[in-house]
């Protein structure tokens, strides 16, 4: 999956160092592309496959839940215990099955918080300029981001992975 923005090249996860989901302008070898699939989360009724999982850059690669932290509005990934108490869906397609929704709408945001470039350098991410985090404006109120945050409203578009 990728962002429907002309400058975005990759949405990815960064190994076991961080449970954040990043958006980059240039592909980075430190990021593993977000390779997501719908899957039944144990918080949902049987047959409800509205959870979302991805394979991480951990060694060995591990299937992890994608969830929304309701306090920060940031999309993160982690194990089942990490996902507990967070919003694990429902994730779905738009009616044309081209974009991804959470809780029935597309409130996606690319966010760069003050100090993010320094954090990226500390994590060893090359080409930190253009590194953003994936957030979701759950209540359509700007997600209570801190002063100085840079925000772009975005869409998350489905892209079939090459095999």
Distance CA(162)–CA(157), nearest Å, equals 15
Establish whether the linkage from the previous residue to 157 is cis, with ω within 30° of 0: no
* Torsion sign (Cα): 45, 48, 51, 57: positive
List, for residues 40-55, the tens digit of each pLDDT value. 877 777 767 788 888 8
Phi, psi of 82 (to 5 degrees): -65, -35
CB atoms within 10 A of CB 107: 20
At residue 163, does pLDDT exceed 50? yes
Between CA 101 and CA 51, with CA 48 as vertex, the angle to 5 degrees is 45
Cα 117–Cα 85–Cα 73 angle in degrees, nearest 5: 35
3-class SS of residue 120 = helix
**Cα–Cα distance measured from residue 80 to residue 63, given in angstroms and rounded to the nearest whole number:** 10
pLDDT, residue 7, reads: 39
Tell me: the pLDDT tens digits for 54-104? 888 778 888 889 999 999 999 998 988 988 899 998 899 999 988 999 999
Structure tokens belonging to residue 7: 């400058």
Tell how many helices (H) and how many strands (E) occur in the chain. Answer: 2, 14
Give pLDDT tens digits for 97-133: 889 999 999 999 999 888 887 777 766 666 666 678 8
The two beta strands, 108-112 and 150-153, are antiparallel
């Amino acid at each position: 999956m990728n962002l429907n923005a002309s400058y975005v090249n990759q949405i990815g996860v960064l190994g076991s160092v961080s449970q954040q989901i990043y958006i980059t302008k240039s592909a980075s070898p430190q990021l593993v592309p977000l390779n997501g699939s719908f899957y039944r989360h144990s918080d949902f009724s049987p047959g409800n496959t509205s959870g979302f999982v991805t394979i991480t850059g951990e060694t060995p690669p591990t299937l992890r839940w994608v969830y929304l932290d309701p306090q920060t509005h940031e999309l993160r990934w982690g194990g089942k215990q990490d996902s507990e108490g967070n919003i694990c869906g429902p994730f779905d397609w738009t009616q044309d099955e081209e974009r991804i929704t959470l809780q029935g709408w597309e409130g996606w945001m690319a966010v760069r918080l003050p100090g993010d470039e320094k954090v990226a350098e500390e994590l060893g991410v090359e080409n930190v300029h253009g590194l953003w985090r994936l957030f979701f404006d759950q209540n359509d109120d700007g997600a209570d981001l801190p002063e100085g945050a840079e925000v772009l409203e975005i869409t998350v578009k489905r892209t079939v992975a090459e095999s």
